Amino acid sequence: MAFLHNKSLRRLVLILLTIWSAGSFWFFSQSLFINVTITFVAVCSLYLIWTELSPLFLLIFLSFTTSFALYGFLFFLNLPLWIIMIFGLLVYAYLFTFFEQKVDVLNPEQLIYLALFALIIAETFIFISYYLISPINRSLIIALVAYLLAGFCLSIIEKKSIKQFNIYLLIFSVVFLLIIITAPFGII
């Protein structure tokens, strides 16, 4: 667990995860515009990783790019689902640990919440994989669920306000509806 608390190792793990997940867009996506955009955002996120700023953005972005890479390995390289789920659980648990450390979520049940959040993301990953929508839309939904769980962390666990969580829930609902309405069904 030293790589969770050591600043240099944490940076290294996040940088490698960013490079791997953003690089997967060049391998699995056929849209040059999306590839260039993700690469640009990944370069900007490398700066955020190095300065350890904006952990919410890093959580959402890395959830999006990692889930796209995992869907690519699932559908294009035909890796078994159980291997992808084990790797996904480890990555999402690490991302939520990083997020909780950076926003100072101090709770005696932090490990239980961490396991619960990683399982929710993994179950969402499996559930969405059965629908015939594009991997980018699937990854957007995973990033949106990570956003909602981060909002739960920032509002409910820290005992700030239920109204703040309602704002996260409202944004989640609106963006989720937009993703579902604009998703091309039947295209993988």
Position with higher pLDDT, 5 vs 119: 119
pLDDT tens digits, one per residue of 124-143:
999 998 888 889 999 999 99
Going from N- to C-terminal start, the domains of the chain cover: 52-182
User: Which whole-number Å values give the CA distances from 151 to 28, 143, 164, in the listed order?
Assistant: 30, 12, 8
Read out DSSP for 134-164?
A: -HHHHHHHHHHHHHHHHHHIIIIITT--HHH
Question: Does the predicted model carry a pTM greater than 0.85?
Answer: yes
pLDDT tens digits, one per residue of 144-172:
999 999 998 888 777 777 888 899 999 99
